Amino acid sequence: MSAMMSLFSTWVCGQSNYTYKNLTIFLIQGKDALSRTYLTLEEAMKQKMIVLRETGDVGELSVDNLSSEYVFIMAGDIVKGGRQDRTIGEDIVLAPGAKKVPLKSFCVEQSRWSSRGSESATVFSSSEKTLNNKALKVAARTEKDQSKVWREVAEYQEKARTIVQDEVKSNASPTSLQLTLENEKIKGSVSEYVNALQPAFEGKNDILGFAFFINGKISTVETFGNAALFKKLQKKLLEAAASEAFEHYSEKTKFAKFAVPTQAALKAFMELAEQGEETGRQTSAHIMEYTKKSNTAILLRTIHTVAGKAALHTSIYATEGL
């Protein structure tokens, strides 16, 4: 994995941080390590370039790539519809024209096992959200625990209800995380963060990802193999970071004095994450996933082997608070 370390050493954590309320972000900039272009799940579904279907198994979906492009499906992406809303359990890349590719999934909704309103019960309609806090991401991606995913969804809904002082569950499906994230009061609060921080990304063509702190503590780092892929996913990931910050914001935190996030603290965290004990496994055709775990972090790194040895996607989650 020396190639991974050489890529890591080329990242530059921006000297400037950008803060709104209790959320601070650092941009991670550098040269592209991968030249291949990818469609994202969201844009492929919008353009009807893929078909994502139910299989009858709650833990597995099936997808056809109808395009001549490679499609990157990010772990944590939420797909809406079918018999239950799901989140994708692992990063995967669909080759052009690939058919009946299995996708590991977890339910982010309970009880429903039929169509919802006018939605199809067999085909999923969209993917505009991703898992909105690190506890959910770890439950799905590393612990692979469906019961814990459900518990984390319920906990988020309860925290959000307390914060907005109103019900955030949808009558159409009270257990659906997707529908809760579509709640107008939550969307309004998240949009405040996004609107304040979005300008940090504008006018820069070398952004490979970003890291964010909540209440002065590091939460998550997300980076990608090239700036073009990150740019497509940037708003979705920023919305997730904002949702996590919203979840941990209150009148008490509003006036609290937190440690000021620094570039030095971020770099130290990232370097320690790289020193964790590593395991690797092939998760699907041409995809390797490497995991490093330490006392302070969980690192997940995806390699698309036909594109090269460099990382396609790296996520680092701080273990504090999990």
Where does the pLDDT of residue 301 fall: very low under 50, low under 70, confident under 90, or very high at 90 and above?
A: very high
Relative to beta strand 60-65, strand 207-214 is: unpaired
Domain of 154 in residue numbering reads as 2-318
Q: Give the pLDDT confidence of 118-171 residue by residue, as tens digits.
A: 999 999 999 999 999 999 999 999 999 999 999 999 999 999 999 999 999 999
| pLDDT value at 231 more than 60 | yes
Give residue 253's pLDDT: 76
Q: Using one digit for the tens of pLDDT, what is the confidence trace for 181-193?
A: 999 999 999 999 9
- The rounded distance, in Å, linking the Cα atoms of 139 and 136 is 5
According to the model, what pLDDT value does residue 13 have?
61
CB atoms within 10 A of CB 171: 7
- Which residues is 62 bridged to in the sheet? 53, 102
Which phi-psi region, left, alpha or beta, contains residue 209 (left: φ > 0; alpha: ψ -120 to 50)?
left
The Cα angle at residue 86 between residues 22 and 235, in degrees rounded to 5: 40
Widest pairwise Cα distance in the chain: 54
Q: What is the pLDDT of residue 208?
A: 96
Number of neighbouring beta carbons within 10 Å of residue 145: 14
pLDDT for position 86? 98
In the predicted structure, residue 174 carries a pLDDT above the cut 80: yes
What does pLDDT average to over the chain?
94
Radius of gyration of the chain (CA): 19
CA nearest 219: which of 233, 237, 204?
Answer: 237
The runs of H, that is alpha helices, within the chain are: 2-10, 41-46, 134-141, 146-164, 177-181, 184-197, 227-247, 251-254, 263-274
**Number of domains, the chain:** 1
User: Mind listing the pLDDT tens digit for each residue in 244-268?
Assistant: 999 999 877 777 788 889 999 999 9
pLDDT of residue 154: 98
pLDDT 10s digits, 209-218: 999 999 999 9
pLDDT digits (tens, 9 = 90+) for 3-38: 344 344 445 565 578 999 999 999 999 999 999 999
What is the percent of the chain where pLDDT is above 90? 91
Say what the pLDDT of residue 15 is.
56
pTM attached to this predicted model: 0.95
The lowest-confidence range among 10-14, 155-159, 200-204, 227-231 is: 10-14
Q: Which pLDDT score, from 0 to 100, does residue 259 have?
A: 86
- Judged by DSSP in three states, 210 sits in strand
pLDDT by residue (tens digit) across 38-84? 999 999 999 999 999 999 999 999 999 999 999 999 999 999 999 99
